[in-house]
Amino acid sequence: MQKIDKILVGTHNKGKFIEISSLLPEKIKKISPIDLGIKSPIENGKTFEENSEIKANFFCKNSKLVTLSDDSGLEIKSLNGDPGILSSRFAEDLGGFNSAMIKILEKVKNQNKGTDAQFVSSLTIQWPNGKKITETGIIKGNITDIRGKNGFGYDPIFKPIGYSKTFAEMDYHEKLKIDHRQIAYQKLYKKIKVYF
């Protein structure tokens, strides 16, 4: 069995790249598709798992490197799971995360059906021979007013259950210990640690 000494971290999102790189063992070299000039694929899957596999397959085929990709998003119960797999596009269409968060707060308030939400992350590792493994992690929490400056994306409006801080008020290590990506990674790690 061939040990993994380098991994393409298949994302164009800088916040994700930092988090995924920190989850992986230090001795493994992490490579960004941006540095290799590889663009993003079209994400036309219907689930986080499908989109994660689309990304891993695309980046793996284009780099010929073992690739780890993530598809993730914020699901809000009172909004029937929105923005969900369209979390990135929702922010893009509104011109950025600040406007997207303001819009979400307005919608949640108008619905008046509570603030329950969850972050979901599906991680896929794919080898150049086509072998792939996908695992999903979920962290439940509540939507709050915009608080904190750390992290990325929707971190300022998400407070995990059992904590008083939003993800953006936590320092990076604190968030990374508990978040959806860590939960997905722990499941994946059990299956791939033999390659490290």
Under the binding rule (CB under 6 A), the answer on residue 169 touching ligand ITT is no
Under the binding rule (CB under 6 A), the answer on residue 155 touching ligand ITT is yes
Restricted to residues 7-66, the positions that interact with ligand ITT (CB under 6 A) are 11-13, 16, 40, 43, 55
Q: Which of 5, 35, 71, 171 is catalytic?
A: 71
Among 108, 151, 176, 182, binds ligand ITT (CB under 6 A): 151
The 3-state secondary structure of 68-88 reads: EEEEEEEEEHHHCCCEHHHHH
- Is the CB of 27 or the CB of 35 nearer to ligand ITT? 35
Pairing of strands 29-31, 67-76: unpaired
- Phi then psi for residue 30, to 5 deg, are -105, 130
Q: For residue 13, what are its two tokens? A: 């999102």
Residue type, 159: K
Distance linking the first and last C-alpha atoms of the chain: 10
Q: Hey, which residues are catalytic here?
A: 71
Please report, as ranges, the residues that interact with ligand ITT according to CB under 6 A. 11-13, 16, 40, 43, 55, 70-74, 87-88, 91, 119, 151-155, 167, 179
